[in-house]
Structure 1
Amino acid sequence: MIRFLDSLADVDPAHWDALVGDGNPFVSHAFLRGMEVHGCLRPDYGWQPRHLALYEGERLLGAVPAYLKGNSHGEFVFDFAWAHAYERAGGDYYPKLLAAAPYSPVPGPRLLAASLEHKKQLVAGLLAETGRLGLSSVHANFLEEADLPAFDERWLPRFDWQFHWHNPGYGSFDDFLGALSSKKRKNIRQERRQAEESGLTLGMTGGAELTAADWRAIHALYESTFEMKGNHAALTRPFFRHLGQSFGNDVQVATARMGDQLVAMAFFLVGGGTLYGRYWGAVVDVPGLHFELCYYRGIEYAIARGLHTFEPGAQGEHKLARGFLPTRTHSRHYLVHEGFHEAVADALRHERRAREAYGDELMEHSPYAMRSEA
């Protein structure tokens, strides 16, 4: 039986997390429920929880973190052009139904179920709710590859590129540098030296060790990044504290201090053998500091902990020169109106060819040394 839930308060956290399986923190009960409780998801922000749950009696067999969306903000799979075209033709694109981790362009499970049969039932449930509510569309963003077979050919496939770092078993940061071309090694050492000689005190601190004053400063730095770009910082200070309390030292924060003042930070979460870089903020302009806190401290941490992957966030070709390689991300889209579906399908065919060519071009600039290089 399919049920739709307006809050994750209606699900036992242990039952939900048992479905997540791989330890991905962004679809955990603590992360998603924390957003609901601490004011990050509000109708005026365009987010209304509409989670799908598949039950057999009282046993939870599957689930989807899902939302009715009144806009396309905070998704990172951009369909603004689709919305404008649909509304120019006289339709109402919003609300739409979205399966996603809010504000988190992080690949991971969206169809939380062990079997393909149950995943297909979840997809059918999303479609049934879309029809029942008379919505224009339903979308599933940043899907892991294991979820893809549950979507049939009527769903439009879309992909993009992120830059991820992979650990083949490095013993140290120097081992990682040794795998790079000589030019990239030199540039990274120079950037690290700039940060180290800045006079700031640099560190990496677990969430369980951060003080209340640290959390206030971390959130203020996060807000400052959005304000500088003219955007709204949707994640609240209580939500940040909640992450520290819920995840403990699976939260890591790379810090730069000037005396006792926290002047820059990069915020990370750990789960399923992966380090996830999420938020950055600074009130100082120091050469090399952004790269040191957001990338190099993360790589060092991943090597020391034996993590296999470091995902530093969406976008950013500059990550390629620092050891991060292009990795596909996947989404699926079901547009109810047949004519609109065909128009978007045609546009996506052109987009796909361009993105394939872009990926080939990126790999031509791999930072890793050829075997013949001395």
Structure 2
Amino acid sequence: MDGENTTDTLLEVRAHRSFDTIAQQDWDACACPETTDGGPPRDPFTTYRFLKALEDSGSVGRGTGWQPHYLTVHKEEEVIAAAPLYVKSHSQGEYIFDFNWAHAYENAGGRYYPKLQIAVPFTPATGRRFLTRPEHEAEGMAALVEGAVQIASDNGLSGIHATFCTEGEAAAGKAMGLLHRTSQQFHWLNDGYADFDDFLATLSSRKRKTIRKERRQAQSFGGEIVALTGDDLRPEHWDAFWTFYQDTGSRKWGTPYLSRDFFDRVQEMMRDDVLLVLALRDGHPIAGALNFIGRETLFGRYWGCTEHHPCLHFELCYYQAIDAAIARGQSRVEAGAQGEHKLARGYLPAATASLHWFADPGFTRAISQYLEAEAEAVEEEMEILTSYGPFRRDTPEEQD
């Protein structure tokens, strides 16, 4: 499909069923142009190496309900934009839920699946979804949206969903006529803390004492806690973590989303992008939490254990992540989807965004009305939750 930009130069949008037909340097020039300074990407999830690890490991593709149709936009001989696009036969692994929309559409006689999803599979982390080279943001995103709409229209698909996009993308998409949905997560924000105690000093006395107690309980499990990245990671660490991940995945989703081979590929290509926190007893891992390292954000992703100990989950997933973010000078920890229990541990409500397009005008109107009401409810809930947050309000009773 071709489109024209303001200089009358033709833009060509291509769909790819595999990364084998996309050059890594072309994709990453759009996905993570900031890495030219030698630093890490804003987030590793849209990089070529992460998405290709999902594909090559069989975590996406045939039989998974996530069929790759990656998009690239070409301007003359240069790739100026790209998007991780998938054809979905279900709504699993997305974390911004549209099950009710699917039921309503199908009850009205429509066919909701397959649909198009612009997303990072199994990853509820905010980041760019319309990947563009610098200075090509507007024309690149417009071409990607137009290309996705054309694919959906040509194939009779119900709609397109771009999940966990940035607020800038959400605003641009809304201006293009896409529907904007607001959801929420819980994020920890670094207010320039020198260390964990500096963070604790901003909390109410009661919450401060509770967190200190939880950390003492967690660290008394009878072993040691280590945080590993880069060359400190070894294959046996992934063997242990695979056991943890299988247990958690089976309980949460029925079947784990990621294959064992995915973690081997992470070890091979992405060990500098991960921070694996393990609880060891006599040198053997009994619990672990996997984080991915972004330029300014630490992204908590998976947790699991073979032994249950009081508060060990909070320590490995939340408090160790805060320690690491402070040490690295990172501004934020995103601890994954859902979980109001994070509020008491310093993780406050944060808005997340998604964009949606439907082929059916009547359904579009109905969802638009729904999203307006939902956005008001989410905003109100965030205000209420924030008011119950653990931070000190500078009253005498809040002092130690």
TM-score, shorter chain, exceeding 0.5: yes
Q: More deviation in 311-320 or 336-345?
A: 336-345
- Please identify runs of 4+ aligned residues in structure 1 that moved more than 4 A: none
Equivalent-residue separation in structure 2 for 1:286 and 1:246 (angstroms): 33
Other-structure match for 2:272:
249
Is residue 2:84 matched to residue 1:65? yes
Deviation at 1:310, TM superposition (A): 0.8
Equivalent-residue separation in structure 2 for 1:363 and 1:230 (angstroms): 29
Other-structure match for 1:97:
116
Equivalent-residue separation in structure 1 for 2:197 and 2:258 (angstroms): 36
Is residue 2:128 matched to residue 1:106? no
Equivalent-residue separation in structure 1 for 2:354 and 2:361 (angstroms): 19
Equivalent positions of 1:101-250 (< 5 A) are 101-113=120-132, 114=134, 115-151=137-173, 152=175, 154-229=177-252, 231-250=254-273
Equivalent-residue separation in structure 2 for 1:173 and 1:149 (angstroms): 36
* Contact in 1 for aligned 2:298/2:332 (Cα 8 Å): yes
CA RMSD of aligned residues (A): 1.4
Identify the match of residue 4 of structure 1 among 6, 15, 35: 15
Q: Secondary structure at the match of 1:17?
A: helix
Q: What residue identity is the alignment partner of 2:375?
A: R
* Contact in 2 for aligned 1:138/1:333 (Cα 8 Å): yes
Q: What residue identity is the alignment partner of 1:345?
A: S
* Contact in 2 for aligned 1:207/1:245 (Cα 8 Å): no
Deviation at 1:291, TM superposition (A): 0.4
Deviation at 1:205, TM superposition (A): 1.1
TM-score between the two structures when normalised by the length of structure 2:
0.90
Deviation at 1:61, TM superposition (A): 0.3
* Contact in 2 for aligned 1:208/1:244 (Cα 8 Å): no
Deviation at 1:230, TM superposition (A): 5.3
Q: What residue identity is the alignment partner of 2:68?
A: P
Other-structure match for 2:55:
36
Equivalent-residue separation in structure 2 for 1:228 and 1:359 (angstroms): 28
Equivalent-residue separation in structure 2 for 1:355 and 1:89 (angstroms): 27
Identify the match of residue 85 of structure 1 among 104, 107, 119: 104
Is residue 2:73 matched to residue 1:54? yes
* Contact in 1 for aligned 2:119/2:162 (Cα 8 Å): yes
* Contact in 1 for aligned 2:128/2:166 (Cα 8 Å): yes
* Contact in 2 for aligned 1:267/1:278 (Cα 8 Å): yes
Is residue 2:383 matched to residue 1:360? yes
Equivalent-residue separation in structure 2 for 1:306 and 1:156 (angstroms): 35
* Contact in 2 for aligned 1:123/1:150 (Cα 8 Å): no
* Ranges in structure 2 where 5+ consecutive residues have no aligned partner: 1-11, 35-40
Equivalent-residue separation in structure 1 for 2:79 and 2:139 (angstroms): 14
Percent identity of paired positions between Structure 1 and Structure 2: 41
Q: What residue identity is the alignment partner of 1:43?
A: R
Q: Secondary structure at the match of 2:353?
A: strand
Equivalent-residue separation in structure 2 for 1:343 and 1:153 (angstroms): 18
CA deviation vs aligned residue, 1:193-216 (integer Å, no higher than 9, x gap): 001112122111114222222211
CA deviation vs aligned residue, 1:241-275 (integer Å, no higher than 9, x gap): 21122222321111111213211000011012210
Equivalent-residue separation in structure 2 for 1:301 and 1:125 (angstroms): 40
Q: Secondary structure at the match of 1:169?
A: coil
* Contact in 2 for aligned 1:43/1:70 (Cα 8 Å): no
Equivalent-residue separation in structure 1 for 2:154 and 2:98 (angstroms): 23
Q: Secondary structure at the match of 2:243?
A: helix
Equivalent-residue separation in structure 1 for 2:246 and 2:167 (angstroms): 33
Q: What residue identity is the alignment partner of 2:263?
A: F
Equivalent-residue separation in structure 1 for 2:388 and 2:88 (angstroms): 38
TM-score between the two structures when normalised by the length of structure 1:
0.97
Identify the match of residue 283 of structure 1 among 289, 306, 315: 306
